[in-house]
Structure 1
């Protein structure tokens, strides 16, 4: 499989605190709470996060100083650890100045107190729940979104919820900092695919780099025979080659793939959506027809590429990839009422890392609905839990996420050079299709492995957009 492009770790700002008036009254309390804070920092690093730990705060002045340190650090999410009672004035400045979403965690030392032996100081170590309503009230009145996780220090259920917020913060950061390529032009007539580029920045952040197919052409022209041969060898190692593959078409696809690698590197792209119609076999048509191999290899590296100029789906694929779900370019293909399955996939790029088996390259003399010819990818998403993930553009300019959980299952598949999967959504396939379409999704989306709605709920919360969960 192609080497993956590892995204930077999510940067978590951590501040723990308690009411300083307690320390002289109960000398053993602060050291115990600091040990808990150190354990939280350790567990955060275990989630793969880069932790900016500003230590323990005991009053509003220390809270303000911590706020400035966290603001300067450029964190992706701020975690405030309520170790015992603390006043809202200690954390409101952190939340207001951080330019990052805030998660409050209340993790008491163990599942339950020893009521027969505990004194007041020992009880206070379990009192992190006490300030939580106060924080929620103050955050609401200050216009700061509130979210929290309560549990105990080694509570795996609580840490699973914390992990969702941390993963969601990493995806939010990828969107906010992302550079998204948009190359070519809209597939004529696809009104649903059309995306207002300004709304990408307004809803997600990031930058859309508008590219011409000539940006690819000039790079492909400079590809050497040795580079083409190396890319072809890479493809032959990854793919099974069907007898229908034409030697010249495979060589051309390999050359275009090298050019795509350079395009992505030169423009520092994190995703790419593309389409070019072309005419009478001229070079731009040949480039468009030769994209599938290179786009699939890019997607497997963590740089999702979507055909038909489907920018919102390339963003959905990026979301899926950063959640660890892969995310392959998908549309409806047919409904199997006999077996109760929705058949979905696409001609074009695939996420090779989530293939059920070694992916196949098939030669096609015709790309249905498009000009040109060449090689295409055929594969089935790995069987098991999956989630359909899409990005909706509303009439008012707001984006929303659409998601539906199902399971990819075995069954007959077409052998036409398409990515095709059978998905059982646990209901009549017609009812699911009607409910999914009613969300306002475009006719493309990402299909990723695993059930991801819980993660997507967290992401939608951090992005302050709606999540539409289809579960008929």
Structure 2
């Protein structure tokens, strides 16, 4: 089961001054060619809606309506040459999509001894940008400016200056920023059109995790579908022996089956009965999430009831779903499910985790949980262990032991402020190879830019939800842009 994430919708237009076109032969065509180059680059990762050249107030109005009609997530305002701010303001008064101003110079240096006014006007892209930003600021229109080189790969036929700049660091930096905004827009579009299932309830007493479903939908667009254990039980009745066999084959391919733990008497070699039950439950779980984009779950009922046996098989199935782009967050933690989904859309994993302990000898913090791990970021094959009991929960079954592969990681927490506003907590670090406990939990040693005690004080002082999502790579920059587009506050540690 694979999930196909939709591409973001990106608007673009290029501005110039209408009076120039008759005065300087070929300038308009040249500016339009830059516009088409940007469109082609953006089209690699987005649906692009290119209005083209805007050089009058009336065209600005039309462009705003065009972007509204196509429901764009972002608008790139390409400064092609000088233009008055009165031309661009109507665009953004009509369409409220976030504005990114592109001040991308075609050449790194003007040929001073050969350049005439027409050539100069093709290079003076920065000239109107302060005028634009002043007008936007006074109109309370949010904006971001990206400056640098255009990054052309071929020389324009009418250009006097060298325009081949795709290998220049100023072009690479600018396009990295552009691509991060596109990724952030991808997160926004997919999050706002997603449905999260909420199965059961939030773990009793974990006050940091309780959230208002209306608040979450108001701030993210996520629709939350409330599910019952009886819904899952009904699907369990439909599971066939063939479906169990398919899950059992996946289990054998994806996991190392443990022997008894040498240190924990509760962690034993899984029995065949436990493995088959986990496979049957996994088949039912797959049916439950057919129309879902993520799942939040927890159940703690009366000891010995039928649902206790059902939830004892949860972990393997939720591991499979998370690996197939349906992030699953245990203990009813809706906010961390959002963090996991953001990471999954960005294709950087998103494993359910929490701070476990500090290792002051290694200078690391151990992150882990008994909940779903993302196979995409695993260090080798995970281990499947039998558990004599699930600590703090009802029942027993099988659990996953794994760690994140070494290298750059980013921890993403989603918390809620005392004003009821969602907030991202973003922290980059590095996963290192270190020993872990053989207790059937995920665990990873992470080294941050501060020693463990000082780092934890800083993290805790952000008043986080006590779970977070672990992703691979240093992703702070794109996550900050994601928060910006979702209009959610953030802190980067």
Assess same fold via TM > 0.5: yes
1:250-265 aligned at under 5 Å gives the runs 250-265=275-290
Partner of 2:155: none
1:120-131 aligned at under 5 Å gives the runs 120-131=117-128
Is 1:318 the counterpart of 2:344 in the alignment? Answer: no
SS at match of 2:326: coil
Instruction: Select which of 209, 233, 238 maps to 1:193.
Output: 209
How much has 1:67 moved relative to structure 2? Answer: 1.6
How much has 1:162 moved relative to structure 2? Answer: 0.8
1:103-114 aligned at under 5 Å gives the runs 103-114=100-111
Partner of 1:368: 391
Partner of 1:33: 31
How much has 1:64 moved relative to structure 2? Answer: 1.5
State how far apart, in whole Å, the 1-side matches of 2:386 and 2:308 are: 17
Partner of 1:221: 237
How much has 1:157 moved relative to structure 2? Answer: 0.8
Q: Is the 8 Å Cα contact of residues 278 and 313 (structure 2) preserved in structure 1?
A: yes
Partner of 2:292: 269
State how far apart, in whole Å, the 2-side matches of 1:72 and 1:107 are: 27
State how far apart, in whole Å, the 1-side matches of 2:369 and 2:451 are: 22
How much has 1:4 moved relative to structure 2? Answer: 3.6
1:76-155 aligned at under 5 Å gives the runs 76-154=73-151, 155=171
How much has 1:20 moved relative to structure 2? Answer: 1.1
SS at match of 1:404: strand
How much has 1:281 moved relative to structure 2? Answer: 2.9
Is 1:74 the counterpart of 2:97 in the alignment? Answer: no
How much has 1:58 moved relative to structure 2? Answer: 1.8
SS at match of 1:257: helix
Which digits, 9 at most, give the CA deviation of each residue in 1:408-439, with x for residues without a partner?
00111011111100001132211111111110
How much has 1:122 moved relative to structure 2? Answer: 0.8
1:461-472 aligned at under 5 Å gives the runs 461-470=484-493
Is 1:156 the counterpart of 2:172 in the alignment? Answer: yes
For structure 1, the residue ranges without an aligned partner over 5 or more in a row are: none
**Large movers: runs of 4+ above 3 Å:** none
Instruction: Select which of 355, 362, 374 maps to 1:339.
Output: 362
Q: Is the 8 Å Cα contact of residues 353 and 371 (structure 2) preserved in structure 1?
A: no
Partner of 1:452: 475
Which protein shows a greater Rg?
A: 2
How much has 1:179 moved relative to structure 2? Answer: 1.1
Which digits, 9 at most, give the CA deviation of each residue in 1:339-389, with x for residues without a partner?
111001100211011001111111111111111111111111011010110
Q: Is the 8 Å Cα contact of residues 61 and 94 (structure 2) preserved in structure 1?
A: no
Q: Is the 8 Å Cα contact of residues 4 and 300 (structure 1) preserved in structure 2?
A: no
Q: Is the 8 Å Cα contact of residues 191 and 221 (structure 2) preserved in structure 1?
A: yes
For structure 2, the residue ranges without an aligned partner over 5 or more in a row are: 152-170, 260-268
State how far apart, in whole Å, the 1-side matches of 2:257 and 2:275 are: 10
How much has 1:141 moved relative to structure 2? Answer: 2.0
1:224-239 aligned at under 5 Å gives the runs 224-239=240-255
Q: Is the 8 Å Cα contact of residues 246 and 374 (structure 1) preserved in structure 2?
A: no
How much has 1:405 moved relative to structure 2? Answer: 0.9
How much has 1:8 moved relative to structure 2? Answer: 0.8
Q: Which moved more, 1:172-181 or 1:383-392?
A: 172-181
How much has 1:328 moved relative to structure 2? Answer: 0.2
Partner of 1:44: 42
Partner of 1:329: 352
Partner of 2:328: 305
SS at match of 1:343: strand
TM-score by length of 2: 0.92
State how far apart, in whole Å, the 2-side matches of 1:111 and 1:287 are: 65
Partner of 1:5: 3
Q: How many residue pairs align between the two structures?
A: 465
State how far apart, in whole Å, the 2-side matches of 1:79 and 1:283 are: 55
State how far apart, in whole Å, the 2-side matches of 1:432 and 1:309 are: 27
TM-score by length of 1: 0.96
State how far apart, in whole Å, the 2-side matches of 1:271 and 1:89 are: 45
State how far apart, in whole Å, the 2-side matches of 1:302 and 1:333 are: 25
SS at match of 1:147: strand
SS at match of 1:91: helix
How much has 1:146 moved relative to structure 2? Answer: 1.2
State how far apart, in whole Å, the 2-side matches of 1:88 and 1:235 are: 61
Q: Is the 8 Å Cα contact of residues 27 and 118 (structure 2) preserved in structure 1?
A: yes
How much has 1:6 moved relative to structure 2? Answer: 2.5
How much has 1:463 moved relative to structure 2? Answer: 2.2
State how far apart, in whole Å, the 1-side matches of 2:432 and 2:280 are: 35
How much has 1:23 moved relative to structure 2? Answer: 0.5
